[in-house]
Structure 1
Amino acid sequence: MEYLRNSCGGLVLFVITVVNWAVSGVRGGNSTYKTALNAVLLDGYNPSVNPGRHYSTQILNINVGFGLKNIQTFDELESVLTVTGIISVSWYDERLIWVPKNYNNLTTTNFKQKEIWTPPFVLSNSYNNIDLIGNSDMPVTVLYTGEVNWFLPLKLSSSCNADVRFYPNDVQTCSLNFMPWGYSGEQIQLVVTSQQVDKNEYEESPTWDLVEASQFAHLSPKLGFKIDAVFKRKPLFCMINFILPTIFVGFINMMVFILPPQSGERVGFSITVLLAFAVFLSTIANVLPQTSTPNMALLCYLLVAHIGQSLLIMLCTIFGLRFYLRPQKDPVPKWMSGLTRLACGCAKPTTCNVYPESESRDGVETDEEASTALSGDVVTWQRVGNAFDNVCCVFFLMTSVIYNTAFWASISS
């Protein structure tokens, strides 16, 4: 019995050893067959020669497509678009065909990009140097039918003229132009797999909304394929930080004509607002392209209009203070008196507001004297100054409403 037990144990150990050897042999066999397959396929293969049995009659068809991953940045100042995505390229190479049953039923294998022929694509409108895309060690998948599939994950930076006319509601249209360097349409024909760019893995940008992305192949002016991307800015950040403060400060600027002239702060207030608009303009100039092509941003015109209006308000403030500082005993010219009554909108000036002065002597009226003057038809310099302030306040308020409304209508359309 002991002998039988030892014999059965040895038999079981032998069977386990044989099974392990067989399994490891199969596993090692795939890599061995793949090594032999790659060696056979690359024997005499020249990666500098493009596929094709008859160059004079046969055109190599290359299928191309682009999958957009995300829009990383769009630098308006430098006019540079940076995106990430995957280019998929496929073609047939008759030198890479094999019979699967001769190689343990292997149907696919892999080569490095430098080991076989690949289309020498370049980004012709690259912002940086124009180099061949891809990496020499990038893997390329080959089917037993000779079909080659090449997938390239890339980060691309292309030149794109920024159109910031309607900033921050601007819509940008940029292109990525690829071309097979050194080949013409008589040797290669590019075919796009779809008119629309693949957006299955697209990640939303915090700054831009992708409106449309399309792709197409072309023969002129040079052989290649082109990707057009249309994207629109998300305007909330610029609205809150640039436009609304500009408009609010513009309306606050009108308050200088309501500020009592006795405070002595009118000129300082108007100059402060003027400097605030200058700061806004310099800030916008730092984030927008310093060019007039194709168009300047309407926001720049808005700021210039605010600066011009603020400058006029400051001059009118200085000029208006001269009316209040004129001696009240000096007569007001008849034409100015008539304009004052017209500005007050009444036949008699008694309904207009005035700012009576408190000093009784030294050439200045007291409250009693001022009220006495107000009871008649005499127009004082104080009334002239008050009417001038009212006219300026209404005029600049209306002009501000007009050009701010025009700006909003323009960028919204």
Structure 2
Amino acid sequence: MKCGWREGNQIQLLENGEQYYPAVFSAIEKAERKIILETFIWFEDSVGWQLHDALLKAAQRGVSVEVLLDGYGSPDLSERFVGELTGAGVVFRYYDPRPRLFGMRTNLFRRMHRKIVVIDGSVAFVGGINYSADHLADYGPEAKQDYAVRVEGPVVQDILLFELENLPGHAETRRFWRRRHRPEENRTPGEAQALFVWRDNHEHRDDIERHYLKMLANAKREVIIANAYFFPGYRLLHAIRNTARRGVSVKLVVQGEPDMPIVKVGARLLYRYLLKGGVQIYEYQRRPLHGKVALMDEHWVTVGSSNLDPLSLSLNLEANLIIHDRAFNHTLRENLHGILAQDCQQVDETMVPKRSWWNLTKSVLAFHFLRHFPAVVGWLPAHTPRLAQVQPHRQSMTDTQDRAEPENPGVKP
């Protein structure tokens, strides 16, 4: 499948769960024919139960509903929770579910990390927001800062076609030779244009990264990248620095209060290299940053599920929307500028790891890891991920106890 730039779309930025969940649940309530939903994390908490109820009601009124969850990100949904959905006719699948070893999840790599909803082939949602209460501000200091988009228009058909071709499960096979897909050119730039792009382990294994590289090469005035897990490959890191060195204002927003401490350690190993090239680095301080967005100049934007780290760029299944639209670019720019002014601390030389043999050794190792990881990972022993469908079962009378909302273990999303 190959997607192209589509014109005439209506695109809305959604910030955090406060805007995202009502928009998704409202669209589900209005669905008449088919709902396809896939996500990395679905927790059995207040948000998870709202999604459960919305999908259950849709299935009960005759809407075809298909769900795909990642077996690593969503391992703990109860049989009752899933059984109510499958009993109503929901097609419920897990991507690569694997048994635990000594209580630990074993499918660490090749995750299904996309967050997509398509409803009736007329409206779609793409972004980085999972279905869990920690995407709402009232969750507390650990609530995540994140983004998604709601889109109507011709690009929705591309997203739907992608789902129909991939959701039923064409098995991923190990190939010794793989054709590289060239990024789609926007030959007639305009307004309300959108391009759906994804990363898989076949022909599209570096599409998202290559769109970032092309954006950086084309930038003339300003680039803002806000990304939760920043530890990109060497060529992307080099391109970010080179863009700043030729006079473009390049602002990088990373986690200052990360949900995983190792995130800050990894990113800070790269600070000296980027700062010397003129990149302005900001650490977001209000709460954990979970966004995966970027903008360039007055028109270009991307919003999606892809982090800029080895997992997203080399292993996970990801999806982003590339947008060419002045109004949408302005909306995201205003949002990010507000965050930069109110909630970020700009990195200076005092925050860079001090020069020492140990820090120099760590930096050299990090750079060599970044340079060679994409090639090395292709040779790692890899199973063939599978889709496992949950079969419907009869609900017993004892399965009517009050709904519990257990805590779920934190997962890097």
Given the two structures, how large is their TM-score scaled by the length of structure 2?
0.22
| Greater radius of gyration (CA) | 1
Greater RCO between the two (CA within 8 Å, min separation 6)? 2
Given the two structures, how large is their TM-score scaled by the length of structure 1?
0.22
